[in-house]
Structure 1
């Protein structure tokens, strides 16, 4: 399918949408209107590009100039709605609106909702506090809720929700207004506890609410996505709980940080053919890592298999791994981080 992605400028949400679509094998056409598009320009763009689906992203920011705010939050959605209604064929449209706490902006968004909801080919998604994975950190959460760390909020983890939302629009069965967020709520205090591993698994599993604002979206997800499309976008069948999602995101971040640190590998049987091939590859590919090779040097082993035995990051220990005391001593002496077993 051809997707036209319309936004004011290049932003994290449009990037994440585009990346997910491209991974799913879709053709993505980016259009940044910078608050200057007319209805005729939009019609011409649609007639020229002939998209099968359109996404309109409206962020939660307002301009100091009232007309620019009106253009981004009201006129652009209406232009798209009108242009697609009269186009060469029916085009499913996703209006992705970031919910706002700005009173003046919310008045404009409410007016947009009432007008856009008249069009049956539009999914009008009101997304509550959308958060990218890279923003899952205490600094960002503090910028949102520093005034009251114990107040609970609904948020949308984009990596959870976007695959579902794109799959819904892909199949074209959903339409109308829907509020979108993860199941459950979170506070700045709870985030800090998650980040420091102070919340137990049973508390996380019990945090799903019986009734939730996202129930309509969860129902769409279960009923309106075909198995083929769900697989294409890797869309979860269940709408994830926010605490569980944030916990998993924090774990991924820690793994990424640890993956960048230098490693100390204990390789067993590293003078054999397979073990030495691994060691030669690792020394060349990861020059900052250290390798401790423990081998009892059986007849099939050959120390000449190691391409660079004099490397400062390589040490050969002639010993039998059946000697537990030696293995434990090596682990403690060299602060081993990983063990690769070829013996």
Structure 2
């Protein structure tokens, strides 16, 4: 009882919303949690506050996304001797219109791309191996900058509720298989990607966003796997959701860092290897929420791998803008792969030939 009183007193002073659950009932809510929920649910069933996809996850420690009250939140969950503690992080993002800056950056990137292509053509004609290598290096930098700009633009559009969303009928099995096959066709990837799914899982989803979601998850796993690492991608369709699971045997995530997994820029910088800006999982979260879904991340700790489950609702209406279904794979997808995996792919992947 004394320990419980100390815990309650400590959590009462925490600024972030915190709730404690025992035997599937809420035992404690601090002031911030009551404000977030809109009422005091102490003594009520935990399901009134915490969604079922979190309640049904058996891991001792994990982080997931969820709607709490009326807000999108990251929920860090810790379990100890039958008691679950939920710490909710709900970011208030004010509209930040920087379209003029983004347009200027896009124009600059286009000029860099054009100059790089010209240099590569000249180097090819002259047989200048060193100049070709410089061209590939510039091309890789172009795709890295393009990915960062794309992610920033996308996250800001999502925050303003202005993200284009065009759901169409998609064969998710074929789409994922084709994308993974293309990624694995790259030389010296250093990892093995295994894919399991029933044939022809068809859902209504935004095809382009679905590709970006998958590639962001793959990029996250590849960048944290050592040489000869293993990644397992699987699909499962339930009555209400499409579940995309990506498991790897990579570096894993420290338990203290799980709470910040969905927050952009908040990751420890490792100067021994190239890294993005820490926006990949934030983009995954945003895409999932556009599809009325959620994301769960589990990690047993450093060097013990990471598991990510993305749940997308099957209750998505077709967009009126889509007049006819598109093929499950287009050659333009190669440029998307080069962009999304620009921090993972070897330098030789950025030859101009790879884009054609």
Same fold (TM over 0.5): no
* Larger Rg over CA atoms: 1
**TM-score category (smaller protein):** under 0.3
Query: Would you tell me which structure has more strand in proportion to its own residues?
Result: 2
Query: TM-score, normalised to structure 2's length?
Result: 0.22
Query: TM-score, normalised to structure 1's length?
Result: 0.23
